[in-house]
Amino acid sequence: MANDLKTFQPKEYYRKFLEKDVRPDGRELGECRSTVVNIGSITTAEGSALVKLGNTTVICGIKAELANPKADEPKNGYIVPNVELSPMCSAQFRPGAPGEQAQVLSQFVVDVLQNSECVNLQDLCIVSGKLVWMLQCDMICLDYDGNVADACVLSLVSALKNTCLPKVTVNEETQAIETDDKITNNLKVQTTPVSTTFAIFDDHFVIVDPTIEEETLATGIITIVTKEKKLCMVHKPGGTPLKDSQIQLCIDRAIERSGQATKLIDETQCSLDR
Amino acid sequence: MAGLELLSDQGFRIDGRRSHELRKIQCRLGVFKQADGSAYIEQGNTKVLAAVYGPHEVKGSRAKMLQDKVLVNCQYSMATFSTGERKRRPRGDRKSTEMTMHLKQTFDAAIITNLYPRSQIDIYVEVLQSDGGNYCASVNAATLALIDAGIPLKDYVCACSAGFVNDTPIVDISYLEESGGGPELIVTILPKSEQIVFLEQNSRLHEDNLSKVLDVASKGCKDIYAILDRAVRDHVSKVSNVANTTE
């Protein structure tokens, strides 16, 4: 009986649960799915992290390349994030060129990096005006069960914290580039941006960390990015209008989540260093 | 020989293996929820994920639909961070396209295709870290994913590579051994019936030695079969235990 209702009237099915302040998977409205972070699992990458948010899985690998800086910003390196939603992660994606959603997500990650000033681009400078690092951050979604944005940001930040760059110098006489793989420097990550996504159901239930079903049934989505208890970015692409008080509630929850996530990354990092 | 010594006088290879020794294999079935079947395999430092969707109706152009059997659709993709040098394109380059073709041909031969006419099975393979033997790891991972999806196969499909150094055949060669320029033989077999599904050999190898190298590679395939079979049985018993306790 319950299954029939779920198939034919999914909204009604959800409403019955939400009225009792619980979700069909047993979570409370403000409860995130269990989060697992695995840092440094890909040895061919300069930095890597795998994040699982319930069933949603995203892996981020960072490859460093040498590049010439732009003429108007001779000291700034580059960070190029790219999100890939391959047909592997869900039947809804087709093979071929990246879809709209993947491009929107990539741009979202670019905005998060810029707004949070997570990495100082001048740290990526090797020789001013001549040589800088370009960090290619590829995030591949392996299993798509909703809320990929949060998983992407979490995996990117964890991978950045894991990134180790070799020491590179330019010989002044010959202009040759010399790489010393023995001396590596950890990339300086100044802040830890954490994104938290909420789905709005029936115009008044606000649920955190939505699954794919919840995302498709939701009447609106709001994503809040915080860094160290400070608000960094709010992204609300249309949908149900919200009241100030509701947004304030989201922000409070996002800050709470941010603390948990930061602690999780740091703990995983520590267990790795040991 | 210039450069690296692939096989020492004592009979050890660069990574400390003997000539007939496989790399350590670790595998898991059912790693993802969205896919109908999925698997992860690690062969030494090569790490591969496979996901299977289907059988489902033919998507995209209807012209591809086959009236008498299922359409096997493969996609081989290498993560841009999987290699030492960053890959520009994860798929669509010639090497990946060739690999996609090989996988499709291999599984076309191993899946009992006439059971699902006018349908499609998708096999997606993602190489997360590459250290030689990508094709072999992809085939082994895809086999596990197909089994996890419950798609009828004639038999397990096991792939293994072999090389030939200092008159000695070496099994399951790594990236260093692959790039040494020596001969490389890749073989895919159905271990129970001992049938060869796919065989490829590059570079020069004396005819007299071919059977020796082939024997070593097929032995490797059978060893891999034993490991895959154990993984499948473990997985099935675990799943049935969970099913029993929840009932």
Termini Cα distance of chain A? 52
Residue B1's pLDDT is: 47
Residue of chain B minimizing CA distance to A142: B32
Is B160 in the A-facing interface, judged by CB distances under 8 Å?
no
Confidence of residue B111 (pLDDT cuts 50, 70, 90): very high
Report the first-to-last Cα separation within chain B, whole angstroms: 64
- B15, B91, B128: best to mutate for the A interface, most A CBs within 10 A: B128
Q: For position B243, what pLDDT does the model report?
A: 83
Query: Cα B66 vs. chain centroid, distance in angstroms?
Result: 26
- Comparing B134 with A274, the larger pLDDT belongs to B134
pTM assigned to the model: 0.93
Cβ atoms of B177 and B163 within 8 Å: the answer is: yes
B124 and A84 in contact by Cβ < 8 A? no
Residue A1 clears pLDDT 70, i.e. is over it = no
Q: What is the pLDDT of residues B37-79, one digit of tens each?
A: 999 999 999 999 999 998 999 987 888 899 999 999 999 999 9
Q: So what's the pLDDT on residue B88?
A: 86
Q: Is A38 on the interface with B (CB under 8 A)?
A: no
Q: Which residues of A touch B126 (CB under 8 A)?
A: 86, 88, 140, 142
Mean pLDDT computed over B3-18 = 87
What span, in angstroms and rounded, lies between the C-alpha atoms of A33 and A53? Answer: 6
A148-162 and A100-116 helices cross at what angle (nearest 10)? 50
Q: Flag whether residue A42 sits within 8 Å of chain B, measured between CB atoms.
A: yes
How far apart CA A247 and CA B72 sit, in angstroms, is 48
- Mean pLDDT of the region A150-160: 96
Reported confidence tier of residue B3, pLDDT bands at 50, 70, 90:
low
Does the beta-carbon distance from A88 to B124 stay under 8 Å? yes
Residue found by looking up tokens 């697992």 in the block? A36
List pLDDT tens digits, range A18-41: 999 999 999 999 999 999 999 999
Q: What is the pLDDT of residue A107?
A: 96
Does residue B175 belong to the interface with chain A, where contact is any CB pair within 8 Å? Answer: no
Tens digits of per-residue pLDDT, B186-236? 999 999 999 999 999 999 999 999 999 999 999 999 999 999 999 999 999
Q: What is the ipTM of this complex?
A: 0.91
* DSSP-assigned beta bridge partners for residue A2: none
Best residue in A34, A41, A44 to probe B by mutation, most B CBs within 10 Å?
A: A44
pLDDT of residue A274: 61
| Four-point Cα dihedral A44, A49, A50, A56, nearest 10 | -130
Q: Is B100 on the interface with A (CB under 8 A)?
A: no
Chain A nearest-CA distance from B193, in A, is: 31
**pLDDT confidence bin for A109, thresholds 50/70/90:** very high
